[in-house]
């Protein structure tokens, strides 16, 4: 059973849950699993990124592996560059959308896919076996900050559309997108207004990015922009704001892409992979367009697993993880953004015209808890949730789950009747709080 890995790699508060020794063990484990591996390492802008990246590199090199450190790069950039340089593993040092005091470790295989759960268990199984290679077979460490430009060039090439005439606002979350996103849009000809592009790491995700799009909305309206895009710390999430100042989440963006790809004959199998969080309104709209929605467990790795199983090319989450498998092996916020912008330019339409869907109101509540596993195994809670589902009947859905990255229980109630959904969600949240106390 995995102790360190959650739904998206290892995640925790630096020097509390996540100490440098863990990074060393991860790096060294890769040299146990494969003799003399080449390991590519990238990170977001967090101050703790240097410490973890160097410790991980030390673990690799001490086991005889060679390291290519590409510096600050979006998560999808690491996936792409791992294949580009024929590396055996790609490692991202990032805590994605979490605050600056958090950090994390994600691992990609040589094909640019995140490790499966059993593969993560293999990594952990090596933590008790330190592989130390004697001189002169120690590995080497190579810094290559310019490698990010290969990823930039690839994104520009995939768009295949001149974006001149579009005024685009970008919120880079003071994270890994700070250079890549503006550079890509500028190379494609768009007029770019860029914000939150600090790379010190201090302000990463703080009142900015895909979880805090209020300032993006202000800028889109005040600058009379065509569209705004907000990324998270490692740029694997995307949220948009349309020309009216309305928020456009991952569900709506996936719907817009699916419909466009379907019309052009690019949507393989006429299917999309979502999650149990995907809005019922999206499912109904897709059905009316002749597109099937399949629901995976929440977490982009589970979306990817189902995409591979079903042979689908488009999938993602309401949170803004969007996977375009014809172009990238993981969620890529910048890739999704240029595809949305390209769609707008080619069709000469506003984003609001692509997202005309009647959504079911959703209430989401996150409850901080001491022991999320104990709470999720509580039989009384399970019985209460079942009773709430029966009360809603066919008018709504209930989803209660433990966060894969934080000590939280997440409650989602989706109901055709907004007040009823909110009331149900609050009742479940109160039940969880009582158990926690």
Contact 102, 12 (CB under 8 A): yes
Contact 322, 332 (CB under 8 A): yes
Q: Which of 31, 96, 210, 403 is catalytic?
A: 96
Q: Which SS3 state, helix, strand or coil, does residue 236 take?
A: coil
- Other CB atoms within a 10 A radius of the CB of residue 290 amount to 10
Q: Which of 278, 260, 271 is nearest to 309 (CA)?
A: 271
Q: Which of 252, 256, 295, 291 is nearest to 277 (CA)?
A: 295
- Other CB atoms within a 10 A radius of the CB of residue 222 amount to 11
Q: Which residues contact 365 (CB under 8 A, 6 or more apart)?
A: 410, 411, 425, 426, 428, 429
DSSP bridge pairs for 247: 241
The token duo for 148 is 């990010």
DSSP bridge pairs for 396: 415
What is d(CA 197, CA 170) in angstroms, rounded to the nearest whole number? 9
The H-or-E segment that residue 280 falls in is helix 280-288
What's the per-residue H, E or C state across 11-36?
Answer: EEEECCCECHHHHHHHHHHHHHHCCC
Q: Which residues contact 409 (CB under 8 A, 6 or more apart)?
A: 366, 367, 369, 372, 375, 376, 400, 401, 402, 403, 432
- Other CB atoms within a 10 A radius of the CB of residue 309 amount to 11
The token duo for 424 is 């149900």
What is d(CA 199, CA 158) in angstroms, rounded to the nearest whole number? 26
- What is the full DSSP assignment across 115-130? PPHHHHHHHHHTTT--
Catalytic residue list contains 96? yes
Burial of 187 (0-12, 13-18, 19+ CB in 10 A): middle
Q: Which of 436, 324, 330 is nearest to 106 (CA)?
A: 330
What is d(CA 264, CA 272) in angstroms, rounded to the nearest whole number? 15
User: Would you please indicate which residues are annotated as catalytic (active-site) residues?
Assistant: 96
């Amino acid at each position: 059973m995995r102790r360190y890995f959650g739904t998206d790699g290892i995640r925790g508060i630096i020097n509390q849950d996540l100490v440098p020794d863990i990074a060393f063990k991860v790096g060294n484990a890769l040299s146990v699993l494969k003799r003399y591996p080449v390991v590519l390492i990238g990170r977001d802008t967090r101050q703790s990124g240097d410490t973890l990246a160097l410790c991980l590199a030390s673990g690799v090199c001490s086991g005889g592996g060679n390291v290519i450190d590409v510096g600050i790069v979006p998560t999808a950039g690491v996936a792409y560059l791992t294949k580009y340089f024929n590396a055996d593993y790609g490692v991202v040092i990032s805590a994605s959308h979490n605050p600056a005091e958090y950090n994390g470790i994600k691992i990609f295989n040589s094909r640019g896919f995140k490790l499966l759960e059993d593969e993560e268990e293999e990594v952990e199984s090596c933590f008790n076996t330190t592989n130390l290679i004697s001189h002169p077979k120690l590995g080497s460490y190579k810094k290559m900050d310019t490698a990010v430009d290969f990823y930039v060039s690839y994104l520009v090439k995939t768009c295949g559309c001149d974006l001149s005439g579009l005024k685009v606002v970008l919120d880079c979350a003071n994270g890994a997108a700070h250079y890549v996103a503006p550079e890509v849009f500028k190379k494609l000809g768009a007029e770019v207004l860029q914000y939150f592009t600090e790379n010190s790491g201090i302000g990463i995700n703080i009142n900015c990015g895909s979880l805090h799009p209020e300032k993006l909305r202000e800028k889109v309206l005040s600058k009379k922009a065509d569209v705004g895009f907000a990324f998270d710390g490692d740029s694997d999430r995307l949220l948009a704001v349309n020309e009216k100042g309305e928020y456009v989440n991952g569900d709506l963006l996936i719907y817009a892409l699916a419909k466009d790809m379907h019309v052009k004959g690019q949507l393989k199998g006429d299917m999309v992979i979502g999650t149990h969080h995907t809005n019922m309104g999206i499912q109904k709209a897709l059905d009316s367009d002749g597109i099937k929605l399949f629901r995976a467990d929440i977490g982009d790795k589970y979306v990817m697993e189902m995409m591979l199983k079903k042979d689908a090319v488009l999938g993602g989450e309401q949170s803004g993880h969007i996977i375009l498998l014809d172009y990238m092996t993981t969620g890529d916020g910048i890739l999704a953004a240029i595809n949305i912008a390209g769609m707008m330019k080619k069709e000469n339409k506003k984003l609001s015209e692509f997202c005309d869907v009647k959504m079911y109101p959703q209430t989401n509540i996150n409850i901080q808890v001491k022991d999320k596993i104990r709470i999720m195994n509580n039989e009384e809670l399970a019985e209460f949730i079942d009773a709430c589902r029966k009360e809603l009947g066919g008018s709504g859905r209930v989803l209660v789950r433990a966060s894969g990255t934080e000590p939280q229980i997440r409650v989602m109630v989706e109901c055709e009747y907004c007040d009823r959904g909110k009331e149900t969600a609050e009742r479940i949240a109160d039940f969880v709080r009582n158990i926690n106390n």
